[in-house]
Amino acid sequence: MNDTTPQITRDYLVQLEASMSGVRPDVRAEMVAGIREELDGLDAAAAAARIADLGDPTFIAAEAAAATESDPRPSESPTAAPPQPQPAPSRALPITAALLIIVGTFVVPIIGPLVGLVLMSFSMAWSRREKIVAWLAPLAVTLILATANAIVIAMQSSPATEARNAVTPGLGLGGWHLIILIPYLVLPIVGVVLFVRASRRNWQA
Amino acid sequence: MTADVGTQLRKGVVEFCVLGLLAREPMYGWQLSEKLVAAQLIASIGTLYPMLSRLRTQGLVTSYDEASASGPVRKYYRLTPQGSSQLETFRLQWEPFAATVFTFVGKDPE
């Protein structure tokens, strides 16, 4: 192709290449080169006639895509080495992580589940979304309970109930003691959910 | 059986038709395409190049660049010895095969 190439030829080749994005790269390159050779050197009239013979570029591209669909890739020729099977991912890390989240609080409070959550973050057994939810679930539950507790306490200290509360001081929703129980309730549930989800997927995200 | 009969028949033999054409002389893409489209063996040049790529991968066809009589350098395709042998095998089988099929599907003489 040079500056004297007719516009109709340029347009056709541009259209052809754009239509062939779904065709295997090696076939696409060879076909575009072959058609370019065929149009090279033709004046506008001759090129128009040849283009009419070649046909609609989108049709050519669709035919090429359909004809290469079932072909093995060039690198997958019978002589090429068969792809090595991927080694199964180790299950030790995710299982340890899930178990630490479930029972860690009862063994070493705070540190136990924290180590479990950190191990979970490095494991391939869970998606990024699952990891974020696992980290945020205890915090979200804590926040919700603390807010609910504060609201209940504020209501109990209103003038109408103050006199009664003077006798039996209110502790909201069981007081702040309830929040301390969260690691013992929420984290085991989070751990069990993580364990079940990962085991169903053979410990792969 | 629901697919177009012509399409199924073409699929089975069109690669050997390419080998047959190249057995006569080396040809470039457009030359091959023109003949095959005219004979309604392929719908467009879009079917030809994937086929040439397949035949080359199988070692039946090879390509080389050469200046054509009209000027531009073109990529020509020619048969390899393996391609010639494959074509010969097909020739030996085609005629008796076609005759056999005809004994089943041919109309009885009236």
Domain boundaries, chain A: 7-76, 92-200
Residue B99: the pLDDT is 93
Q: Is residue A71 less than 8 Å (CB to CB) from chain B?
A: yes
Q: Is residue A53 less than 8 Å (CB to CB) from chain B?
A: yes
Half-sphere exposure of B90 (CA within 13 A, CB side): 16
Residue B49: the pLDDT is 95
Count up the domains in chain B and report the number. 1
The interaxial angle of helices A7-19 and A57-68, nearest 10 deg, is 30
Would you state the torsion angle of the CA atoms of residues B48, B49, B50, B54, taken in this order, to the nearest 10 degrees? Answer: 100
Give how far the C-alpha of residue B47 lies from the chain's centroid of Cα atoms, to the nearest Å: 11
Q: What is the CATH number of the domain that holds B44?
A: 1.10.10.10
Which stretches does DSSP call E strand in chain B? 27-28, 61-67, 73-79
Residue of A nearest to B28 (CA): A34
Residue A19: the pLDDT is 92
Report, as ranges of residue numbers, the positions in chain A whose pLDDT lies below 50.
75-87
- Comparing A92 with B91, the larger pLDDT belongs to B91
Q: Compute the nearest-CA separation of B39 from chain A (Å).
A: 14
| CB neighbour list of residue B47: distance below 8 Å, 6 or more residues apart | A63, A64, A67, B14
pLDDT tens sequence across B32-83: 999 999 999 999 999 999 999 999 999 999 999 988 666 678 899 999 999 9
CB pair distance less than 8 Å for B44 and A31: no
| CB neighbour list of residue A204: distance below 8 Å, 6 or more residues apart | A89, A124, A125, A198
Q: What is the mean pLDDT of chain B?
A: 90
Residue of B nearest to A35 (CA): B30
Name every chain A residue with its beta carbon within 8 A of the beta carbon of B47.
63-64, 67
- Comparing B96 with A140, the larger pLDDT belongs to B96
Range of the domain at B14: 5-105
The answer for B 64-103 residues in CB contact with A (under 8 A) is 70-75
Residue A73: the pLDDT is 59
